[in-house]
Amino acid sequence: MDAGRDVTETMVGFARTLRAAGCPADPERVRAMLGALDHLDVLAPADVYWAGRLTLCADPADLPRYDRCFAAYFSGATARPGRPAPPPPTLRRTLTDGARPPAPDGADDPEVGTAAASDVEVLRDRDVARLGAAERAEVGRLIALLDAATERRRSRRFEPAPTGRPDPARTVRETLRRGGEPAPPRYRAHRTRPRKVVLIVDVSGSMGPYADALLRFAHAAVRSGGRSVEAFSAGTRLTRLTRELRHRDPDAAMAAASAAIPDWSGGTRLGAELKEFLDRFGQRGLARGAIVVIASDGWERGDAGLLGEQMARLRRLAHRVVWANPHRARPGYEPLTAGMAAALPHVDDFTSGHSLAALEDLARLIGGGRVRGSAHARRAR
């Protein structure tokens, strides 16, 4: 640290670096950090480290980011205050870069500039992998408007209600309140709470053309479902995206999500990912009684046996397991890939999610509704 530089200035610059890296270092937290430093030794690196970590982080996922920024900032290697951090790569770039691996069937060339005045009704049923840039933007806008409000489940708790079962406690309290005069009986009914929904979006190379639309769908679900919806990306590393996707603006949320996902367009280790999800989140409660939606083509590079095992485990925890495979909509599709075949026996609803209409169906599924013309039978093989 330069001796001449003000502590406050240095730390505010550090907080800015952190914000750019995705930590929630907002002004109130920065104030708390400066307050913490008052009680510690500003010149001791360990004290500065802990003062910042305790006040500027809010999630275990922030800790590695914090460590990186701390090392970089205080060694003076990068990111001086005043120089804005480079903008995180955006999703669009990832999707349209030449480096993108070809889609499995080779039919992914965007038909550039054909979309100008496409009718929404026409767009609804088009496969999102075959859209031009303008059409894709339009579909993205429409997905953001989807209402994926979640189904409600009955809670074990009661709440006062105008009718229902008698509520002895409240009736007696009311009677006591009136000094023992009989009071009209009170009633109670089970509360309802939004059912939890977990979306796991495969962002591996083979899902490339669909990942953007599906993440936008996840954004719409997280925005409309409040705190009962959680979103993750899977590929080679499981990433929790709920916080990134909570951003109001779809494009900002997408940018934040793509910055957070370390394994864009990589391979798929779905079985291992699912295991990690269940170990770290699912079993502790996230998947219990939840509707779990897995959006993936089931191209498993790892062990399909592990995927089957973990799907069985998920099935025991979750209320319903929905699998959205965009390739399912292709004529003549058969679930032949090893991963898909291993997973299917443990799936309640097998749907597609390849077009706006299909995503609307998915939203309806999450809302507890039934879907037109979808194969609903639980598959037993």
- Using rule CB under 8 A, residue 51 touches another protein: yes
Instruction: Determine which residue in the list 4, 87, 98, 179 makes contact with another protein, applying CB under 8 A.
Output: 179
Q: At what angle do helices 62-74 and 7-21 cross, to 10 degrees?
A: 140
Q: Which of 10, 118, 283, 374 binds another protein (CB under 8 A)?
A: 283
User: Among residues 63, 112, 120, 312, which is the contact residue for another protein, using CB under 8 A?
Assistant: 63
**How many angstroms separate the CA atoms of 148 and 150, rounded?**
6
Q: Which of 13, 24, 104, 164 binds another protein (CB under 8 A)?
A: 24
Choices 100-108, 114-122, 131-139, 172-180 (CB under 8 A): range interacting with another protein: 172-180
Task: From 47-55, 71-79, 106-114, 291-299, give the range in contact with another protein by CB under 8 A.
Answer: 47-55
As a whole number of Å, the CA-based R_g of the chain is: 25
**Is position 243 an interface residue for another protein (rule: CB under 8 A)?**
yes
Based on the shown chain and the rule CB under 8 A, indicate whether residue 67 belongs to the binding site for another protein.
Answer: no
Q: If you write DSSP's letter for every residue of 310-334 in order, what string do you get?
A: HHHHHHHH-SEEEEE-GGGGSTT--
Of positions 141, 173, 376, 379, contacts another protein by CB under 8 A: 173
Q: Which of 99, 91, 328, 110 is nearest to 215 (CA)?
A: 91
Which span sits near another protein by CB under 8 A: 118-126, 140-148, 176-184, 293-301? 176-184
String of b and e for 8-35 (b: at least 16 CB within 10 Å)? eebbbbbbbbbbbbbbebeeebbeebbe
Is the torsion defined by CA of 295, 297, 302, 308 positive or negative?
Answer: positive
Provide the total of helices (H) and of strands (E) in the chain, helices listed first. Answer: 15, 9
Smallest CA-to-CA distance from 271 within 378, 343, 197 is with 343
Q: CB nearer to another protein: give 71 or 120.
A: 71
Amino acid residing at 170: R
Asked if 28 is part of the footprint of another protein (rule: CB under 8 A), the reply reads yes
Cβ at position 359, least distance to another protein in Å: 25
Of 128-167, which residues contact another protein (CB under 8 A)? 155-157
Nearer to another protein (CB atom), residue 139 or residue 272? 272
Contacts of 38 (CB under 8 A, 6+ apart): none
CB 342 → another protein: shortest distance, Å? 19
Residue (of 91, 87, 92) closest to 134 by Cα position: 92
In the complex, which residues of this chain contact another protein (CB under 8 A)?
A: 24, 26, 28-29, 32, 35-36, 39-40, 46-47, 50-51, 53-55, 57-60, 63, 155-157, 173, 176-177, 179-180, 191, 227, 230, 242-243, 279, 281, 283-286
